[in-house]
Structure 1
Amino acid sequence: GTVEFIVSGESREFFFLEMNTRLQVEHPVTEMVTGVDLCKEMIRIAAGQKLTIKQEDIKMRGHAIECRISAEDPDNDFLPTPGKIVGLRIPGGPGIRDESGMYEGFEVPIYYDPLISKLVVWGRDRQDAIARCRRALSEYIVKGIKTTIPFHARVMQNEHFINGDFDTSFIDTRFKMEDEARDRPHEKVAIIGAAIKAFRLDQEKSRTITTTEEGGGVLNPWKMSGRLRSLNNR
């Protein structure tokens, strides 16, 4: 089973909460920092077999963060957002693990927990894990419903979170979605940059088009239009 506890930010004392005879939603974090397949070990125990490891075999390495991706609207008090997923792109790469059963066309129901995915990220240390998590969240796309992806992305930019200065009242006292969106205008900068790049590419394409026919004649306007359209569709 798993044991839940909290730690005092000042005295660093441990306070026991409860014991659960099951794997918890956050178990991938433990798996990624220890390299132990907890699901496999749990099945072995259920089958009457022994654990394949001893306590002294377990070594902690690196840092892991889990983001619970839910069908909820973080800009509207996290109200559930059931509906159909019409587009999906799941991030990947070193240290990235996504546990999900959703797919394009999947209908998120109104009757169950809104959790649709668990994005787990591992890094050499906490700062590396945060950096990888930012990148993974920026690549994670779920279309058709609102999710908590923007919320997690903004948490990863929050100064208090980055410095490890947070507790169970973090969201209520040190984090506001609207403040993070205003203070971190990266999306607007990216959109403006993409628009400028697209404009310059169009200009370069226009310059590469020959305006004269072979033999020195002026190119027919209809042919010019066709060449422009052909280049833009590449």
Structure 2
Amino acid sequence: AGTVEFLVDKHKNFYFLEMNTRLQVEHPITEMVNGIDLVKEQIRVAAREKLSFTQEDIVSSGYAIECRIYAEDGFNNFAPSTGIITEIIFPHGLGVRMDEGIRVGQEITVYYDPLLGKLITWGKDRKTALQRMIRALKEFQIAGIETSIPFCLMVLQHNSFQEGNYSTHTLDTIKNELLEAVNIYKKEHNWAARIGAVHAHHKSQQTIITRKNQNKPNNWTVSGRMDELQ
């Protein structure tokens, strides 16, 4: 048993790439479209059991997209990023699946594969799956290290990908456009971070003032205490 990979050109010609005796990183795509748990079936085969379905039982439905989330800077030649994860906000919602193994406080080093997780979306058509992926990428936040999230978001929002007009050369063609877009993205996030920091500071000051006021007795309390002294 294994997974076979092909490239397909615009004329629907298939070109063999490789065959691996294991599941591919993209296996959730197959699972989402066909409703089959491939990992479970793999374990069944290893236990000398039969598959729980036949080829005739497989019915494909809808479209699925997967983004690999790496600890890499997609706009700096995919340079590795190391450090400690300080915050994570995972995306949720209809048709959204997240396969991951990361936690806040976890250190990302250079000694292991930089793959942090896989974000998968499904939809009844390509447009729906794509819209859900873009929304999920916007919700997905990892602080403390650089990730491929902004890169994936910029690529999926580009017209060439939106229209389905792309190839293995597309990234080289739209590279400058993506770099310009990411500069705007970083500026917006820097401003958002500054605003968030100011808001957090004011909130902490208000909390301190509130606590001081809570500790200060009101006029009714003072009057009652004076009566007790008489």
> TM-score, structure 2 length as denominator?
0.79
Please give the alpha-carbon distance, in whole angstroms, between the structure 1 residues aligned to 2:165 and 2:180: 18
Matched to 2:48, the amino acid is G
TM alignment of 1:36-47, pairs within 5 A: 36-47=36-47
Please give the alpha-carbon distance, in whole angstroms, between the structure 2 residues aligned to 1:43 and 1:170: 38
**Secondary structure, in 3 states, of the residue corresponding to 2:164?**
coil
- Which residue of structure 1 lines up, in the alignment, with residue 68 of structure 2? 68
- Which residue of structure 1 lines up, in the alignment, with residue 52 of structure 2? 52
- Which residue of structure 1 lines up, in the alignment, with residue 9 of structure 2? 8
**Secondary structure, in 3 states, of the residue corresponding to 1:43?**
helix
Shift in Å at residue 161 of structure 1? 0.4
Task: Say if 1:40 and 1:112 are closer, same or farther in 2 by CA, change over 3 A.
Answer: same
Matched to 2:169, the amino acid is S
Task: Say if 1:92 and 1:165 are closer, same or farther in 2 by CA, change over 3 A.
Answer: same
Please give the alpha-carbon distance, in whole angstroms, between the structure 2 residues aligned to 1:187 and 1:12: 42
Task: Say if 1:47 and 1:59 are closer, same or farther in 2 by CA, change over 3 A.
Answer: same
- Which residue of structure 1 lines up, in the alignment, with residue 181 of structure 2? 180
Indicate yes or no: 2:83 matched with 1:83: yes
In the alignment of these two chains, the number of paired residues is 199
- Which residue of structure 1 lines up, in the alignment, with residue 158 of structure 2? 158
Please give the alpha-carbon distance, in whole angstroms, between the structure 2 residues aligned to 1:186 and 1:164: 27
Please give the alpha-carbon distance, in whole angstroms, between the structure 2 residues aligned to 1:151 and 1:119: 14
TM alignment of 1:195-234, pairs within 5 A: none
Q: Give unmatched runs, 5+ long, in structure 2.
A: 196-205, 211-230
**Secondary structure, in 3 states, of the residue corresponding to 2:157?**
coil
Indicate yes or no: 2:143 matched with 1:143: yes
Indicate yes or no: 2:114 matched with 1:114: yes
Is the CA contact 1:158–1:180 (under 8 Å) kept in the aligned structure 2?
Answer: no
Shift in Å at residue 187 of structure 1? 8.0
Is the CA contact 1:91–1:140 (under 8 Å) kept in the aligned structure 2?
Answer: yes
Please give the alpha-carbon distance, in whole angstroms, between the structure 2 residues aligned to 1:69 and 1:99: 10
CA RMSD of aligned residues (A): 2.7
Shift in Å at residue 171 of structure 1? 1.3
Residue identity over aligned pairs, in percent, reads 47
- Which residue of structure 2 lines up, in the alignment, with residue 217 of structure 1? none
Query: Per residue, is there more helix in 1 or in 2?
Result: 2
Q: Deviations over 1:188-228 (max 9, x none)?
A: 49x79xx8xxxxxxxxxxxxxxxxxxxxxxxxxxxxxx9xx
Q: Deviations over 1:135-176 (max 9, x none)?
A: 101110100001000001111210000111111122112344
Q: Deviations over 1:87-136 (max 9, x none)?
A: 11111111111111100001111112111110011111111011101110
> TM-score, structure 1 length as denominator?
0.77
Q: Give unmatched runs, 5+ long, in structure 1.
A: 196-225
Please give the alpha-carbon distance, in whole angstroms, between the structure 2 residues aligned to 1:72 and 1:185: 17
Task: Say if 1:118 and 1:185 are closer, same or farther in 2 by CA, change over 3 A.
Answer: closer
Please give the alpha-carbon distance, in whole angstroms, between the structure 2 residues aligned to 1:37 and 1:180: 38
Shift in Å at residue 185 of structure 1? 6.5
Please give the alpha-carbon distance, in whole angstroms, between the structure 2 residues aligned to 1:56 and 1:178: 47
Please give the alpha-carbon distance, in whole angstroms, between the structure 2 residues aligned to 1:42 and 1:187: 46
Please give the alpha-carbon distance, in whole angstroms, between the structure 1 residues aligned to 2:154 and 2:129: 15
- Which residue of structure 2 lines up, in the alignment, with residue 92 of structure 1? 92
Please give the alpha-carbon distance, in whole angstroms, between the structure 2 residues aligned to 1:38 and 1:86: 33
Please give the alpha-carbon distance, in whole angstroms, between the structure 2 residues aligned to 1:6 and 1:114: 25
